[in-house]
Structure 1
Amino acid sequence: METKLKDMGLPKSIANVFAARNITTAKEALSLTEFELMQLLDVGLADVASAVARISEIACPPYQTVLSLLEQRIQKETHGGHLPTRLKGLDKALCGGIPFGVLTELVGPAGIGKTQFCMKLSLLASLPEAYGGLNGRVIYIDVESKLSSRRIIEIGAESLPEIFHIKGMAQEMAGRILVLRPSSLLELTESLQQIKVSIFQHQVKLLVIDSMAAAVSRDYGHAAPRQHPLGWHISFIKSLAESSRIPVVVTNQVRSQSRDEACQYAFQEQSKRKASEAPAGYDSHLVAALGIHWAHAVTIRLVLEAKSGQRFIKLAKSPISPPIAFPFTITSSGISLLNDDGQELKGTEISTIQYQGFHKDIFL
């Protein structure tokens, strides 16, 4: 819309009139009605209509067909790529793994396996390309100091024995994972500003922030601030993902859902009553901690939850896949799916976060 009128090939007579009235861009011209332009330019309706049609044709985006959009998406994905999680069913649902250039969120209760997932992804990103990795560095922003170097080596040795048994490979891969530990939202902000250049200079192939919600809670506590504190961070991280074309993975915590949040509309009262009848020990009122502003910024949302003593990883939001859940367990080699088929989700199953009958094991 900032296209200059002088570059649009308008008839010289009408172009000179626009210039004389200090209307120099398409945006300025199209912000006025044809009758307002007639009065301002002192020319006839036919000349104004012809000029507006010409300006609109050049400045406004043309119509596109669904076929052309599909072709563009395929081309973008081909040049974009994915980081495979090596969880076969999940990779299939994600059309290859964690996508480049967008924001992927892991949300779930404490101890459910979010950090385990992030540590495995970090290893896979640092893996040589010959073994299916990205052969790059990883920046891991460890807000809660949960990353364990011992556990990373254990996951690598158990899940990638053919690689970790090569002399010096474990040290080389571990040396590619760069860890930052900001103690506040301000320090997190400074870290993000500093790594923007590092991503391009040091062949960084994955950015992990574990967890964004923890940084906010340190400054604001568990009560949500009146104004969303992550406006700048949302824009910056999305821009960083798009410009660098790397996968960006951010973990998010959960919080209890208030009645006001659960029942904003009359038709939600019935589901609220059903939820209140759930068995004892069943918490069906957990929601992602960072709220709706953050949720809109996320392209892929993976929910890690538990019910009846079983963990599930749920693809709750994706532009390319229906909602689907996979049962998983955590072993010495990291997260493993119990089956690759998954179960398609419907209704409230998509958005709820369950945490029932579950006890933490030794893998924190």
Structure 2
Amino acid sequence: MEIGMLPISASKRGKLLAAGYTTLNAISRTSTTILAREIEVSESEASEILKFATKTSALDRSSGSNTNIIDGGQTAWDMLNEERYSSLVTTSCVDLDNILGGGISCKEVTEIGGVPGIGKTQIGIQLAVNVQIPLDYGGLGGKAIYIDTEGSFMVERVLQIAEACIEDMSEYSHHFHKDNQAYVVKMHPNSILENIFYFRVCSYTEQIALVNYLDKFITEHKDVKIIIIDSVTFHFRQDFDDMALRTRLLGEMSLKFMKLARNFSLAVVMLNQVTTKHIEGSFQLTLALGDSWSHSCTNRIILYWNGDERHAYIDKSPSLKSASAPYSVTSRGIRNCNSTSNSKRIKMV
């Protein structure tokens, strides 16, 4: 682990990991003020860490070692410790968070797919709001990038969910504030809207260009902690005759998303549509772009109807068990179902 090279205490190394700083380059790119805020130390301590990181990184580059060419060489123990400090974005549904291990994980690409009207866009908006929950409330205090390919993003709905989020935080602080004094949440719905960077793309060429631009954009906006694309497949299902070209472009895009998630310690959430597939003499619903596309993500979540209830099913994950949980789409956003609070496993049809 690169930060193991820094002559600092173990507690400060832990804070760096918890804030998503896993490389010397990532530390050296930030400012003293931002580093101090994100790892909760004084500016003088942050300045000292930044100085060590910059100096060590420069020595590493001058040595001409192969680590400058090949990024890796971590031990499995280092990787396990990083996972323990991995940041999560809550969905605002306790049952859904439970089967996800606490929420949507940073450094990973998560695909969420389902039929129209199941709540994919609602979940996307909820995550764009929830990623901004301050550290004091167990959030990340980050910003969001929302890529809209279908024109389904509704700013009025974002405002509604943002207002509900602030109300929830106020209720939480009132309940847990020990001195029983009124505790004002220092957030405003307008500021939540200001921290969502919205991009509308109208063709697959625009989508590819934007994805290639994100590296530079996120470098300039270091607080971005989640990228949501709604939906990732829309433009690639429209009048695409050259299937070999489509496969190559999709492969390059998915690889880019994985690198962004890893390099910037953020979550990537790809919303996907459904299509029909002929299986054993009958047509069944499946996520668009086929089985090969499933390798483009770390986790795959399928949303479906079970009677009158919406359910989310973990279809693929290297670290999470296959499980299903109910959720509701309410006027306040994504919430638990009123009828049940227990996660349950339901066989997919």
- TM-score by length of structure 1 reads 0.65
Contact 1:185/1:219, CA 8 A, preserved across alignment: no
Query: 2:272, 2:135 → 1: CA distance?
Result: 30
Structure 2 unaligned segments of length 5 or more: list them. Answer: 1-73, 171-183
Query: 2:242, 2:157 → 1: CA distance?
Result: 33
Deviations 1:260-307 (A, max 9, x none): xx2xxxxxxxxx36xx5xxxxxxx700110222220121111111113
Query: Partner amino acid for 2:330?
Result: T
Cα distance, 1:290–1:163 mapped onto 2, change above 3 Å: same
Deviation at 1:330, TM superposition (A): 1.2
Moved more, 126-135 or 176-185: 126-135
Counterpart of 1:187 (choices 199, 202, 206) is 206
Counterpart of 1:244 in structure 2 is 264
Cα distance, 1:336–1:163 mapped onto 2, change above 3 Å: closer
In the comparison of the two structures, how many residue pairs are matched? 258
Deviation at 1:72, TM superposition (A): 4.2
Counterpart of 2:143 (choices 129, 137, 144) is 137
Deviations 1:208-251 (A, max 9, x none): 1110111212352xx89355141211111111111111010000
Query: 1:286, 1:112 → 2: CA distance?
Result: 14
Query: 2:335, 2:187 → 1: CA distance?
Result: 27
Contact 1:105/1:302, CA 8 A, preserved across alignment: yes
Query: 2:270, 2:219 → 1: CA distance?
Result: 20
Counterpart of 1:225 in structure 2 is 243
- TM-score by length of structure 2 reads 0.68
Query: Partner amino acid for 2:251?
Result: G
The alignment status of 1:106 with 2:112, answered yes or no, reads yes
Counterpart of 2:317 in structure 1 is 318
Query: 2:82, 2:134 → 1: CA distance?
Result: 24
Deviations 1:293-339 (A, max 9, x none): 22012111111111323221112212222211112221101122223
Query: Partner amino acid for 1:190?
Result: A
Structure 1 unaligned segments of length 5 or more: list them. Answer: 1-63, 263-271, 277-283, 353-364
Q: Secondary structure at the match of 1:139?
A: strand
Counterpart of 2:82 (choices 76, 80, 85) is 76
The percent identity for this pair of structures is 29
Counterpart of 1:199 in structure 2 is 218
Query: 1:308, 1:95 → 2: CA distance?
Result: 26
Contact 2:106/2:225, CA 8 A, preserved across alignment: no
Cα distance, 1:158–1:236 mapped onto 2, change above 3 Å: same
* Structure ID, larger Rg: 1
The 5 A counterparts of 1:274-293 are 285-293=284-292
Alignment RMSD (CA, Å): 2.4
Deviations 1:121-158 (A, max 9, x none): 00011222223322122110011111111101111223
Contact 1:303/1:316, CA 8 A, preserved across alignment: yes
Query: 2:192, 2:109 → 1: CA distance?
Result: 24
